[in-house]
Structure 1
Amino acid sequence: MAVIESARAFLKVQGIDQWQKSAYPAMADIRTDIKNDVAYVLKVDGKIAAYAAVMTGFDPAYNMIQGAWRNDKHDYVTVHRIAVSTAFRGQALGQRFLTSVFETFSTYQDFRVDTHPDNQIMQHILTKLGFEKCGVVMFEGARWAYQKVLED
């Protein structure tokens, strides 16, 4: 939760209202992630530096999109609640974390993520890693939906 709170505070300082108007993500969300075996962390020198929930299969939050996904497949990897502790900022850990997700889920070809329209840092990371903006989904408000399809 410390990583989530650190990221929440960083977003606030940046003037981004993501994670500001509600308790989401809350301790209950993280506990559910752990219970469902979808909670992942990135450690640096033995300390948790980043967190994300990584799920496989169909994500109902991505069923309705204003725009279009690059394909109609229902078996993909979704990454939610990506957070990097401010204690580790400037080390390209968001990029490193997502790259490790590709490696961990190497049997998948399709990766999907959403982010707040004002979260330019995450948009930069996603674009740099080859994600394409596909449209808008509703997940704690309107969010830009990104997809990366790996070539066979």
Structure 2
Amino acid sequence: MKFQQATLSDLPRLTKIMTEAIELLKKQGSPQWQNGHGPTAEKLTEDIQKHRTYILKTADDEIAGTIALIPGIDPAYTAITEGKWQGDAKYLAFHKVAINQQFRGQKIAAKLLEAAVHEAINLGIQDLRIDTHELNLGMQKVIKETGFDYCGVVHFPIPDGKRLAYQKIV
């Protein structure tokens, strides 16, 4: 598999993958990304144009998964509760993780996070942060399996914006 930055030509497929991920969360009973608060084509376009969106491609050139690597201070991460971050170094936030439904159950999410960790190291960033909804048990499992530690709770300014926050120092 190859980890690379997404381009605008990937947008139609990424939009479909995100739509499927939003529907999966809904079926699982999670309010995460629901009611217009999930990744949209406009948000994906912006992230691609800012070189933040990465994709994991198969040998057959299929997009198996996607993730956004967001540099800088995430406002929601500044007010962590029920715990604390491990230091205050420059960090990279991992957001908008989604797996192509054709590849679910094949450990692609773990491969995607591991590739993102390696990319962060290549970018010279050692403090990595990620969050997920408390009902997104699959994502929590993958986050923990890839070496992230639970640090507390962050709140995004949206309905059901409470998220479990994790960090990995490499």
**TM-score tier after normalising by the smaller chain length:** over 0.9
How far off its partner does 1:52 sit? Answer: 1.4
The structure with the greater share of residues assigned to helix is 2
Alignment match, 1:50: 65
1:63 aligned counterpart, secondary structure: helix
1:69 aligns with 2:89: no
CA RMSD of aligned residues (A): 1.2
1:135 is aligned with what amino acid? G
Alignment match, 2:136: 119
Q: 1:144 to 1:23 in 2, by over 3 A?
A: closer
TM-score, scaled to structure 1: 0.92
1:80 to 95, 100, 108: 95
How far off its partner does 1:23 sit? Answer: 4.5
TM-score, scaled to structure 2: 0.83
Q: Could you tell me how far apart the structure 2 residues matched to 1:105 and 1:131 are?
A: 14
How far off its partner does 1:29 sit? Answer: 0.6
The superposition leaves residues 105-135 of structure 1 with CA deviations (integer Å, 9 ceiling, x where unpaired) of 2122111001001001010011111111111
- Aligned length, in residue pairs: 149
Report if the CA contact (8 A) 2:77-2:154 is conserved. yes
Alignment match, 1:96: 111
Report if the CA contact (8 A) 2:57-2:65 is conserved. yes
Over 4 Å off, 4+ runs: none
| Structure 2: gaps spanning 5 or more residues | 1-14
Alignment match, 1:18: 32
How far off its partner does 1:24 sit? Answer: 2.1
Alignment match, 1:143: 163
